[in-house]
Amino acid sequence: MTPLLSIRALSVEFDTRHGTVHALDRLSLDIAPGEIIGIIGESGSGKSVTAHAVMGILDRAARITGGEVLFQGENLLEMGRRARDGWRGRGASIIFQNPRAALNPIRAVGDQIADVVARHSSLSRRAIRARVLELLRHVRIPDPERRARAYPFQLSGGLCQRIGIAMALACAPRLLIADEPTTGLDVTTQAAIMALIRERAREAGTAVALITHDVALAAGNCDRLAIMHAGHVVEVAPTAAILARPRHPYTAGLLRSVPSLAGSLDQLQAIPGSMPDLRRPDLPPCRFAERCPRRLPRCDAPGPLALTACGPGHLVACRNLP
């Protein structure tokens, strides 16, 4: 299947007072129409930076130093600002990690959804109002007429997250990026949010990139998993293949650290060490090497570390595969 989104050798750096942070290093990833792919990794691994680079909303301190982001064959990085603004919302939308921070605290939530619809359509005010109520019903918000007049501080975290989903779906995007969409929510609300996202992928053929550090959440909802560590994608495969036989030592460590996947509490293991300082000028080709139990001299050989096939649809960036 032809990918909807193809990220090719994307590199992103941030200028800080304490040096240059090499946040993404030649990152490559494909997302197909209608699939849900989970992008998993520790905090600081580059998951949100990847999402923001795709959406064109990187911090002003960031700069893209190489690569392409192809959406239906068109390089988004070469789009002008006006074209990118028009693409954002229709081509792709994002559900932000903190719904309260993403919403304007002094405007009614219905007006904020209406702004998105008006920006990307020529509907009348009455039709926009009807569309807002339709979206609120779609994300299962009770009493949508009253909730549309509410302000974010009057709503629970779960309702604010549903408002964020309604805004993201307002213009029927081809790609939905969900950046930690269930953080801070109770288990019941998490399940409801994920059900909405799965429904969108199944019924509308929307591609979904679920960004999360919750391996169990991704394992239960995603068709494929992409494992990130320190700005690299180290393994990509169908979910079942990764759960059955993780090939990268970092992936195996993540699975052993999750209670629901480790099998028993006695089998739980922490991943030793921490991610390298991404400001270092001497970052090794494999940024997991200093934490890796399988490290060999060839792991430190110079040159980029590429994803290579080790099974059907299974790609791994490792020089010492078991």
Specify which residues 7 forms β-bridges with.
29, 69
Q: Are strands 207-212 and 19-31 parallel, antiparallel or unpaired?
A: unpaired
Coil, helix or strand at residue 315:
strand
Asked: is 1-91+173-250 a CATH 3.30.360.10 domain? The reply is no
Residues contacting residue 200 through CB under 8 Å, at least 6 positions apart: 169, 176, 206, 208
Helices (H), 56-124: 81-87, 99-102, 109-119
What single DSSP character describes residue 295?
A: -
- Identify the pLDDT of residue 111: 96
For the chain, what is the largest distance between any 2 Cα atoms, rounded to a whole number of angstroms? 67
Q: What is the pLDDT along the chain (322 residues), one digit of tens a residue?
A: 689 999 999 999 999 999 999 999 999 999 999 999 999 999 999 999 999 999 999 999 999 999 999 999 999 999 999 999 999 999 999 998 888 888 999 999 999 999 999 998 889 999 999 999 999 998 889 999 999 999 999 998 889 989 999 999 999 999 999 999 887 778 888 888 889 889 888 888 899 999 998 888 999 999 999 999 999 999 999 999 999 999 999 999 998 887 766 556 666 677 888 899 999 988 999 999 999 988 998 888 888 888 999 999 999 999 988 7
CA atoms within 13 Å, Cβ hemisphere of 95: 30
Q: Are 144 and 136 in contact (CB under 8 A)?
A: yes
Cα torsion angle, 59, 178, 30, 79, sign: negative
Coil, helix or strand at residue 137:
helix
Q: Are strands 175-179 and 92-95 parallel, antiparallel or unpaired?
A: parallel
Q: What's the whole-model pTM score?
A: 0.92
Domain spans, the chain: 1-91+173-250, 107-167
Count CB atoms within 10 A of the CB of residue 53.
Answer: 24
Provide DSSP, 225-285: EEEEETTEEEEEEEHHHHHH---SHHHHHHHHT-HHHHSSGGG--PPPS----TT-TT--S
Q: What's the Rg (C-alpha) of the chain?
A: 20
What single DSSP character describes residue 34?
A: T
**Torsion angle of the four alpha carbons 132, 135, 140, 141, in this order, in degrees rounded to the nearest 10:** -20
Q: Are strands 74-75 and 207-212 parallel, antiparallel or unpaired?
A: unpaired
Residue 44, Cβ density class (10 Å: 0-12 exposed, 13-18 middle, ≥19 buried): middle
Count CB atoms within 10 A of the CB of residue 275.
Answer: 19
